[in-house]
């Protein structure tokens, strides 16, 4: 049977689901939000310059939501605006009155601080790992091998998709690249082998099940590995700045591993029960995967080299934290990739997503840090904390984690969610007597991947699978809510006792 791709390519889906640039209201809305907020007087207890800074920050967050320009451009504009207006929005009258204080120079130093941040460069480095997977074909080979070995039954095919994502996740910080760019192009060919067509009643034959398992699995692996989702690394830096808590790669993995492994084992099975495929087994899928592997030929030297290098990187991230910094490990391995020809310098400079992310996160780190610098975070946290007075620390922690998780219904970007809410939640936590800030910080961070389950716009790959034609809107919203509750419930019920044990 011939193979016909049943859905649009990921790039096309993203183009269709991503807001179109150039619409006037998209450009005007962030400006309007900034101006309107700035016209209001500062709330009681908050300095006027801090309120002005928040107005600009709010405009940036709205810009990240409606995307009149790419995220990196919005962040750069926001940082530039603060720098130009530094005397009015960044520094207090007391700072400006200091002898020899130069607001223009100090504002520029603040604006560029994100580009000297090690975590930002670790994010960039992880994108280079993903580039290696793409250029060598190792990511596609892993997915095809698993499909060939486990594709005879629909349930085990679901496990093949889950395992493939899990193997790629530690080295692919963009879940869009990992799931939308590597997993989806493989599995979108499979439903047609069983006459399961998009936007058609036949989609439930096998296509709907596969697409749902794929998006659910990537949300869990995005929480399971620090380097499995780019905003995880941004969150790490905000935790360090706001709560003075350091979290290592190994601590992150160990805290989520029991819950994550359990969820990865259960996802194909739960989806099989709640959203069952009509086709239970067949021979077409492994046969197709075998043909695709033949076209790829034997594993190449570049693939083996990449495999060795990522094993070295993973080993050093887990065991070498006291000897070598995680960012240094990434830079060393990237250098070795260049030397060994895994990819070229031209490949590296052509990776627009990586450079865009570098600019995006560097500016967001500076802007989020600015909220603390001007005193906004402390002021807001004190207000929220007063409303939670009398709650036991454990109850307050659970309530705040649930609020943080479910407010993602309001966001179309995990990065925007992290930047806007994480510093505030952390600051609230510091005002609650007896609250374990290390545990609370980790709990908040570990929800970032699994909250991508909630809506068709919740995380990068969501529009890819939503636009595949196999997941109708009604199904997506219902399943998203059900799986979201399952994920956060399992995380709190099992994760909290486990984290208390390994402290």
Q: Are 239 and 422 in contact (CB under 8 A)?
A: yes
Does a structural domain hold residue 374? no
Give the pLDDT of residue 327: 80
Query: Quick check: 178 and 168 in contact, CB under 8 A?
Result: yes
The answer to whether 82 touches 89, Cβ cutoff 8 Å, is: yes
How many whole angstroms separate alpha carbon 52 and alpha carbon 78? Answer: 12
Q: What is the DSSP letter of 189?
A: T
Q: Which of 6-15, 109-118, 193-202, 219-228 has the lowest mean pLDDT?
A: 6-15
Answer yes or no: is 328 within a domain: yes
Which of the two residues, 43 and 151, has the higher pLDDT score?
A: 43
Look up tokens 């390519």; give the residue.
Answer: 9
What is d(CA 232, CA 224) in angstroms, rounded to the nearest whole number? 10
Quick one: pLDDT at residue 86? 92
pLDDT of 206: 87
pLDDT at 338 (0 to 100): 95
Secondary structure (3-state) at 430 = helix
pLDDT at position 318, please?
66
The number of beta carbons lying within 10 Å of the beta carbon of residue 11 is 11
Q: Roughly what angle, to the nearest 10 degrees, separates helices 352-373 and 118-136?
A: 160
Give the pLDDT confidence of 25-37 residue by residue, as tens digits.
888 999 999 999 9
Lowest-confidence pick of 73-82, 290-299, 323-332, 379-388: 379-388
Q: Judge whether 198 and 207 are in contact, CB under 8 Å.
A: yes
In a domain, 134, yes or no: yes
Tokens at 451, concatenated: 């909250």
The pLDDT of residue 412 is 65
Asked whether residue 277 is assigned to any structural domain, the reply reads yes
| Residue 501 buriedness (CB in 10 A; 0-12 / 13-18 / 19+) | exposed
Share of the chain above pLDDT 90, in %: 38
Cα-Cα-Cα-Cα torsion 476, 477, 478, 481, nearest 10 degrees, comes to 120
CB of 126 within 8 A of CB of 230? Answer: yes
Location of structure tokens 């649009």? 8
- pLDDT digits over 305-336, tens only? 998 998 888 788 767 767 887 788 889 999 99
Closest CA to 234 of 411, 414, 36: 414
- b/e string for 333-365 if b means 16 or more Cβ within 10 A? bbebbeeeebbeeebbeebebbebbbbbbbbbb
Q: 395 to each of 399, 429, 432, how far by Cα in Å? A: 6, 12, 11
Q: Write out pLDDT tens, residues 395-429.
A: 989 999 998 999 888 776 788 788 888 988 898 88
Q: Is residue 273 part of a domain?
A: yes
Please, which residues have CB within 8 angstroms of residue 157's CB and are 6 or more apart in sequence?
Answer: 147, 150, 151, 190, 210, 285
Residue predicted with more confidence, 422 or 15: 422
On the question of pLDDT at 358 being above 70, the answer is yes
Q: Which of 140, 184, 165 is nearest to 468 (CA)?
A: 184
Q: How far apart are the C-alpha atoms of 141 and 183, rounded to whole Å? A: 11
Q: How far apart are CA 470 and CA 191, in angstroms?
A: 10
No. of H helices and E strands in the chain? 27, 0
pLDDT at 379: 83
Region 178-191: mean pLDDT is 78
In a domain, 456, yes or no: no
Distance CA 67, CA 379 (A): 29
Mean pLDDT of 185-202: 82
What is the dihedral angle through the alpha carbons of 198, 202, 207, 213, rounded to the nearest 10 degrees?
Answer: 110
Q: Dihedral sign, CA of 177, 233, 158, 402?
A: negative
pLDDT of 253 reads 94
> Is pLDDT above 90 for 455?
no
Strand ranges (E), 77-179: none
**Residue 23's pLDDT band (boundaries 50, 70, 90)?**
low
Cβ–Cβ < 8 Å for 65, 411 = yes
pLDDT at 11 over 60: no
> How much is the mean pLDDT over the chain?
85
pLDDT of residue 173: 77
220 within domain boundaries: yes
Residue range(s) defining the domain that contains residue 153: 122-351
Total structural domains within the chain: 1
* Separation CA 358–CA 212 (nearest Å): 31
Task: Judge whether 68 lies within some domain.
Answer: no
Burial (Cβ within 10 Å: 0-12, 13-18, ≥19) of residue 35:
exposed
| pLDDT of 16 strictly over 70 | no
Of 59, 57, 115, 98, nearest to 374 (Cα)? 57
Q: What does R_g of the chain's alpha carbons equal in angstroms?
A: 23
Q: Which has the higher per-residue pLDDT, 323 or 10?
A: 323
User: The pTM is what?
Assistant: 0.70
3-state secondary structure 38-62: HHCCCCCCCCHHHHHHHHHHHHHHH
pLDDT value for 372: 76
pLDDT digits (tens, 9 = 90+) for 284-301: 878 888 888 899 899 999
Which of 125, 141, 122, 176 lies closest to 302, judged by CA? Answer: 141
pLDDT at residue 22 greater than cutoff 60: no
Residues in the chain: 503
Q: What is the pLDDT of residue 272?
A: 95
């Amino acid at each position: 049977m011939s193979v016909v791709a049943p859905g649009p390519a990921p790039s096309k889906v993203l183009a269709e689901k991503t807001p179109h640039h150039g619409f006037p209201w998209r450009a005007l809305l962030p400006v309007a939000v900034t101006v309107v907020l700035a016209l209001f007087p500062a709330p009681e207890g908050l300095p006027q310059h801090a309120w002005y800074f928040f107005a600009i920050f709010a405009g940036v967050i709205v810009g990240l939501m409606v995307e009149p320009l790419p995220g990196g451009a919005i962040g750069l504009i926001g940082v530039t605006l603060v720098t130009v207006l530094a005397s009015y929005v960044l520094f207090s009258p007391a700072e400006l009155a200091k002898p020899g204080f130069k607001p223009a120079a100090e504002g520029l130093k603040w604006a560029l601080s994100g580009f000297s941040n090690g975590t930002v460069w670790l994010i960039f480095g992880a994108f280079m790992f993903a580039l290696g997977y793409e250029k060598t074909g190792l990511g596609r080979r892993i997915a095809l091998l698993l499909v060939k070995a486990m594709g005879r039954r629909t349930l085990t095919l679901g496990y093949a998709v889950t395992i493939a994502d899990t193997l790629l996740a530690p080295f692919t910080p963009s879940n869009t690249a990992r799931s939308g760019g590597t997993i989806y192009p493989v599995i979108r060919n499979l439903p047609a082998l069983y006459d399961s067509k998009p936007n058609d009643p036949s989609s439930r034959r096998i296509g709907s099940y596969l697409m749902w398992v794929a998006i659910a699995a990537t949300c869990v692996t995005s929480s399971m590995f620090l380097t499995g989702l780019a905003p995880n690394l941004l969150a790490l830096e905000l935790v360090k700045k706001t709560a003075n808590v350091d979290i290592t790669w190994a601590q992150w993995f160990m805290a989520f591993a029991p819950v994550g492994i359990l969820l990865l084992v259960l996802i194909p099975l739960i989806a099989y029960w709640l959203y069952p495929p009509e086709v239970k087994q067949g021979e077409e899928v492994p046969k197709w995967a075998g043909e695709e592997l033949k076209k790829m030929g034997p594993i190449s030297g570049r693939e083996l080299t990449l495999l060795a290098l990522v094993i070295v990187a993973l080993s050093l991230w887990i065991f070498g934290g006291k000897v070598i910094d995680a960012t240094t490990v990434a830079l060393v391995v990237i250098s070795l990739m260049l030397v060994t020809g895994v990819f070229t310098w031209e490949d590296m400079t052509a990776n627009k997503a990586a450079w865009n992310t570098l600019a995006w996160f560097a500016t967001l780190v500076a802007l989020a840090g600015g909220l603390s610098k001007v005193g906004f975070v402390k002021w807001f946290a004190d207000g929220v904390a007063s409303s939670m007075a009398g709650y036991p620390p454990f109850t307050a922690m659970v309530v705040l984690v649930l609020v943080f998780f479910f407010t993602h219904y309001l966001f179309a970007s995990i990065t925007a969610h992290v930047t806007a809410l994480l510093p505030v939640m952390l600051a609230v936590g510091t005002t609650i007597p007896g609250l374990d800030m290390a545990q609370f910080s980790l709990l908040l961070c570990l929800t970032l991947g699994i909250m991508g389950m909630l809506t068709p716009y919740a995380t990068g790959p969501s529009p890819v699978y939503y636009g595949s034609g196999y997941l109708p809107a009604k199904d997506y919203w219902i399943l998203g809510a059900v799986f979201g509750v399952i994920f956060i419930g399992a995380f709190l019920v099992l994760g909290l006792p486990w984290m208390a044990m390994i402290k």
